[in-house]
Structure 1
Amino acid sequence: MARVRTRPIVARAVLAVGVVVVLVGGVAGCGASAGDDKDPDHRSFALTGHTLTVDSDDSALEIVAVDGNPAGKVEVTRWFQGRVAIGKGPKVSWTMADDRLTLRMKCFGVVADCSAKHRIEVPRGVTVKVEDGDGSVRARGFKDALSIRTRDGSVHVTDSSGPLELHTGDGSVRAAVSSRRVRAESGDGSVDLELGAVPDLVDSRSDDGSVTIALPKATYRVTATTGDGSVHVSVPRSDSSSHVVSARSGDGKVTVGTAN
């Protein structure tokens, strides 16, 4: 009977496992960062109307309302880094159809590490809606309505006066604005709002995190509650006030006070 030789097969299997371990260690040991991209891509997209929806699956976003943009143009800069040890190479894409800017990042493979960031410059006078699957969102300079929703990432808005709707499933929400209407919600993270103008409505909520609201001097109709934590309200209150403030937390401290 012929002898069955198995040692080379075992050796090859051990070698293959060793290669996978080395590759996994190599990728995991140095995570990809979009900030390392020293030569970002840039593209202009035509915008036919006065609304823009930004649809991103996995990217950090910076969205800025600017003066001086050519009429009907959205300027986008993209930073990207990606490595795939086992599988297809990483891929990023951007497309504009009607008023929807779609940003996609595909990082295929068993061992893959990718990171993307986009800066989007929007002409003033455009209403913007952001739908981000996974990534932080920063926005500034908006006088028109701004809506931001991300599943996983922080939201930070500054230097804006238009109506705001801000939501994250997992991350903090921060806004230092002069908006008259603000709705802000976090599923798991703090909510921190500082208003530079007396608002008509502030509706804020965190399922698991503190809620802090700093308001200009005025009299407010305030509702402040928490499931587990302290509540401190120091602004003047009246049930007949037209300035309505709601601050709720499922598990965290709630503070409503006067801005310095």
Structure 2
Amino acid sequence: MAGTVRTRPARGTARIRRTRALAVTGVVAVLVATAAACGADATEDKDPEHRSFALPGRTLTVDSDDSALEVVSADVDKVEVTRWFRGSVMVGRDPRVTWTMKGNRLVLRMKCSGMVADCAAKHRIEVPRGVAVTVEDGDGSVRARGFKEALRVSTSDGSVRVTDSTGPLTLHTADGSISAAGVGSHRVEADSQDGSIHLELGVVPDLVKSRSQDGSISITLPHAAYRVTTGSDDGSVHVSVPRDETSSHVVDAHTKDGAVTVRTAG
């Protein structure tokens, strides 16, 4: 009965295979490192695109998955959108961005996937005056200004900045800071799971409510008596505004990790 003969690859062949595998791994590592080092910057787009969208009604929802947003109340008849985009994919499909209006929902999407993908988008959105706006951003900072109507902003990863607005504000970020400076809103609610909150109001508010899981809270108010509730699990608390437990002007500020400051402007 003949014995079974087992063969082994020649040492030279095995060495060549190992060398090829190392070479491919090295190339991929270089590509990944290069993409990470470059970092796409949407502001480098010197030829941004522009498009107008008709808006049915007096409310607008901006639904974005991955873009820095600038939202402005302006003297326009339609929703005017300017888009900057830079992107490259070395191993995968070509990147692309899309924009569509579905009813009163402006949907902004970016497709950028592959082994080595590097993309960035930015949108400036001009909204007709008198429109209440809700912003839902998955990944990106949000800047908003000039709103007299209700403004709601929520982002999963990015800072939120609001200026020159007088309508009610509801601001949320899962990872980032929140700032509302020079606003004349009578009602402000701000919530950050991981980031500081800085609020400066130009009018005596009815309600200011702020929460942070990990970050300091600073609130600056006009001179008046306030019903103040504050707390910090791990940080100092300093309140210098006049206090009145019967006041209709309510300030509620709590953080688990960080300082809380409530003071009078000037």
Q: TM-score, normalised by structure 2?
A: 0.93
3-state SS, counterpart of residue 29 of structure 1: helix
The counterpart of 1:144, out of the listed 143, 149, 154, is 149
Alignment correspondent of 2:160:
155
Quick check: 1:168 aligned with 2:176? no
The counterpart of 2:122, out of the listed 92, 117, 120, is 117
3-state SS, counterpart of residue 22 of structure 1: helix
Residue by residue over 1:133-166, the C-alpha shift from the partner in whole angstroms, topping out at 9 and shown as x without a partner, is 1110000000000000001110000000000000
The counterpart of 2:255, out of the listed 231, 249, 259, is 249
Alignment correspondent of 1:236:
242
3-state SS, counterpart of residue 21 of structure 1: helix
Shift of 1:31: 0.8
Point out the structure with max Rg over C-alpha: 2
Alignment correspondent of 1:64:
72
Quick check: 1:96 aligned with 2:101? yes
Distance of 2:221 and 2:104 partners within structure 1: 35
Alignment correspondent of 2:81:
76
Distance of 2:209 and 2:18 partners within structure 1: 64
3-state SS, counterpart of residue 26 of structure 1: helix
The 5 Å alignment of 1:43-58 reads: 43-58=51-66
Distance of 2:174 and 2:216 partners within structure 1: 15
3-state SS, counterpart of residue 58 of structure 1: coil
**Aligned pair count?**
257
3-state SS, counterpart of residue 13 of structure 1: helix
Letter in 1 for 2:209: D
Gaps of 5+ in 1: none
Alignment correspondent of 1:15:
23
Quick check: 1:33 aligned with 2:69? no
Q: TM-score, normalised by structure 1?
A: 0.95
Gaps of 5+ in 2: none
Shift of 1:222: 0.6
Quick check: 1:108 aligned with 2:123? no
